A and B are shown apart, each in its own frame.
Chain A
């Protein structure tokens, strides 16, 4: 098991939240190669759950284990190693460096793994239709372009878990399809577990398991 959740509930949530949820307050685990689609209306804690798994927040009751180790037991350096080599994420709010160009934003991630060829950036941006925006600062690009940049950035590293927090919210159907296809290709190559959170129940990945939060 790569993720084990046991009785997890944010401190600021009431117990009643656990009643209709497949995750909050429950015992559940995820393994390599799984595609989990977590769906819930806004305000149900999708981003909170993503941040818990990514180790950005710890304000919860219950236990959360990543790679058989309690997340709170990871040292800062181990946590950075985890994010560098084993877990990747597409943030809901994208979190790009606005003053850097699209290329530089991607390069910041690739530099952590110099073995990843530079040409991969060109190839991926080309597939998602943003190669003509590579040298533009992120802040002047549209939200859709920024979102595709964030998706590519998440793929420019090795990972066993890929967290996607409403990754297609600013994309049209065609771009959603292209992005999902690219994500699935890269994730399957690494037999990674995809955890995809969205308000909609639309299926973008093959063989995905739907969970309510």
Chain B
């Protein structure tokens, strides 16, 4: 509308430097806590993403029978009746058997890695897998068997490989190695090429398509039964006491380690959210102080503002110009908070995850967005407060 220099001369900001600095410090601290907690939240999301076993709000855990001196040597696989009993439990949403291979498998990597080992394969319902990669299927006559490899196995291999003079391999390289499966049973033997399709965190085993296990069990081992030595259950909360009591009573062992890591993330997120809320509250209190400064500014200049209104100046325009006076302070507070969070995040990554830092770790996009949104929000609050007061002066 017009040059604001003259208006600045008419509507003067007087005094209050100390209290203004105090509020600026308060706003910076509040924003720092808020942005730091946001960044922590997104970082937790990022580091847990690969380790996530909790999917769509469900825990997926495997159960096996506890082997005691009493039941050693007996058939400790799950019977159909036991499976039905698990399925019928109100806290268990779904059950899937892990069908194990009943024939001998020797895996070797050929000339690439001079290493061979007896292994066993299992199969699991697809709905229980993190992601079913395309190509995870097998038909009779197919020489190549796709497998899903447990990340734990790879980790274990990499621990022991140097001691045996073997190269350590990454997940990416692991996927490109063709493994030879020498399968043998009472009814005969066959050699297959296996390709690792993906690595999974959910199952600490080697998974092959169900059709392959069933074919091998029938044609190599000569067995047709589908009893499972382990079962996977899908439940809302594996830490539910009632469920744990039931499983304990049945003498089923629960692989809870990963569930607990998922739980610890929930607790961590709770703490981070708490800090975030505290930061938000401090920021809001600081903003409230700025609103009071604005009200003071309006009260000190009521006569001159009234005269501007009489001359035809728009209340909206005056409100916007007066609110804008605080923008540099808001921007300064946001920048200081952002810079501090960015610095600490960089130090944190450098200190604790030295190997990961191959480029400067920038804060997550939502953190930048939050800083901008909060600055705009502060301006908006001031604008509406100022406009409301100015309307009353008309």
Measured in the bound complex, the distance between the Cα atoms of B309 and A157 in whole Å is 15
The residue that A79 contacts in the complex, of B10, B307, B308, B394, with Cβ under 8 A, is: B394
Cross-chain contact A100 with B10 (CB below 8 angstroms): yes
Cross-chain contact of B394 among A76, A81, A91, A109 (Cβ < 8 A) = A76
- Tell me the minimal C-beta distance from A67 to chain B in angstroms: 15
B interface majority secondary structure: helix
Chain B's closest residue to A156 (CB) is B311
**Nearest chain A CB to B2 CB, angstrom units:** 3
Q: How far is the CA of A80 from the CA of B311 in the complex (A)?
A: 8
Is A107 touching B312 in the complex (CB atoms < 8 A)?
A: no
Chain B proximity of A178: nearest CB distance (Å): 24
Known contacts A77-B316, A80-B315, A97-B304; A108 and B10 CB within 8 A of each other:
yes
Q: Once the chains bind, are A56 and B307 in contact (CB under 8 Å)?
A: no
Any chain A CB within 8 A of the CB of B391?
A: yes
Q: Are A97 and B312 in contact (CB under 8 A)?
A: no
Contacts of A157 in B (CB 8 A): 312
Are B9 and A112 in contact, with the CB atoms below 8 A?
Answer: no
Question: Which of B6, B311, B391 has the most A CB atoms < 10 Å from its CB?
Answer: B311
- B9:A100 contact, CB within 8 angstroms: yes
Please state if B9 and A111 are interface contacts (CB–CB under 8 Å): no
Check if B72 is an interface residue, CB within 8 A of chain A: no
A138 to B351, CA, bound (A): 66
B1 within 8 A of A: yes
A95 at the interface (CB under 8 A from B): yes
* B294-321 vs A, Cβ < 8 Å mask (1 yes, 0 no): 0000000000100111111111100000
Are the CB atoms of B9 and A80 closer together than 8 Å? no
A177 at the A/B interface (Cβ < 8 Å)?
A: no
Question: What mask results when residues 147 to 172 of chain A are scored 1 for a CB within 8 Å of chain B, else 0?
Answer: 00000010001000000000000000
Given B2, B315, B394, which contacts A111 in the complex, CB threshold below 8 Å? B2
Which residue in B2, B307, B310, B315 is a CB contact (below 8 Å) of A77?
B315
Q: Report the minimum CB–CB distance from B316 to chain A (whole Å).
A: 6
Given contacts A111-B2, A114-B2, contact A84 B9 (CB under 8 A): no
Residue of A nearest to B316 (CB): A77
In the complex, residue of chain A having the shortest beta-carbon distance to the beta carbon of B393: A76
Interface residues of A in 72-127 (CB under 8 A from B): 76-77, 79-85, 89, 91, 95, 97, 99-100, 104, 107-109, 111-112, 114
Question: Is B3 in contact with chain A by the CB < 8 A criterion?
Answer: yes
Chain B interface bracket (under 10, 10 to 19, 20 to 34, 35 or more): 20 to 34
Question: How far is B394's CA from A54's CA once the two chains are assembled, in angstroms?
Answer: 11
Q: Is B307's CB under 8 angstroms from A111's CB?
A: no
Contact of B6 among A54, A82, A108, A114 (CB under 8 A): A108
Report how far A99 CA is from B304 CA in the complex, Å: 11
Return B304 CB to nearest CB of chain A, in Å: 7
B residues in contact with A97, CB < 8 Å: 10, 304, 307
CB within 8 Å of A: which of B1-44? Answer: 1-3, 6-7, 9-10
In the bound complex, CA of A55 to CA of B391 (Å): 13
A residues in contact with B390, CB < 8 Å: 76
Tell me the nearest residue of chain A to B311, going by C-beta.
A109
Contact between A80 and B304, CB atoms less than 8 A apart: no
Q: How far is the CB of A136 from chain B (nearest CB, A)?
A: 15
Closest chain-A Cβ to B70's Cβ sits at a distance in Å of 87
B6 touches A112 (CB 8 A): no
Chain B residues with CB under 8 Å of A56's CB are 310
A114 proximity list for chain B (CB < 8 A): 2
In the bound complex, residues from chain A placing their C-beta under 8 Å from that of B304 are 97
Q: Known contacts A76-B391, A104-B6, A111-B6: does B311 contact A83 (CB below 8 Å)?
A: yes
Which residue from chain A places its CB closest to the CB of B12 in the assembled complex?
A: A99
List chain A residues, Cβ under 8 A from B307.
95, 97
* Known A76-B394, A104-B9; contact A112-B310, beta-carbon cutoff 8 A: no
Which of A55, A91, A112 has the most CB atoms of chain B within a 10 A radius of its CB?
A112
Which one of B2, B6, B7, B314 contacts A80 once the chains associate, using CB atoms below 8 Å?
B314
Instruction: Name the A residues within 8 Å of B1 (CB-CB).
Output: 111-112
- B2 contacts A112, CB within 8 Å? yes
CB pair A112 B316 closer than 8 Å: no
14 further A-B contacts with Cβ under 8 Å, apart from A76-B315, A85-B312, A153-B311, are A55-B394, A76-B391, A77-B314, A77-B315, A77-B316, A80-B309, A80-B313, A83-B312, A95-B310, A97-B307, A99-B10, A100-B9, A104-B6, A104-B9
Residues on B lying within 8 angstroms of A by beta carbon are: 1-3, 6-7, 9-10, 304, 307-316, 390-391, 394
27 examples of A-B residue contacts, CB within 8 angstroms: A55-B394, A56-B310, A76-B315, A76-B391, A76-B394, A79-B394, A80-B309, A80-B313, A80-B315, A80-B394, A81-B312, A82-B312, A83-B309, A84-B313, A84-B314, A95-B307, A95-B310, A97-B10, A97-B304, A99-B9, A107-B6, A108-B308, A108-B311, A111-B1, A111-B3, A111-B6, A112-B313
Q: Which residues in A have some Cβ–Cβ distance to B below 8 Å?
A: 54-56, 76-77, 79-85, 89, 91, 95, 97, 99-100, 104, 107-109, 111-112, 114, 153, 157
In the A-B complex, the 4 residue pairs with the smallest Cβ-Cβ separation, listed nearest first, are: A84-B312, A111-B2, A83-B312, A80-B314
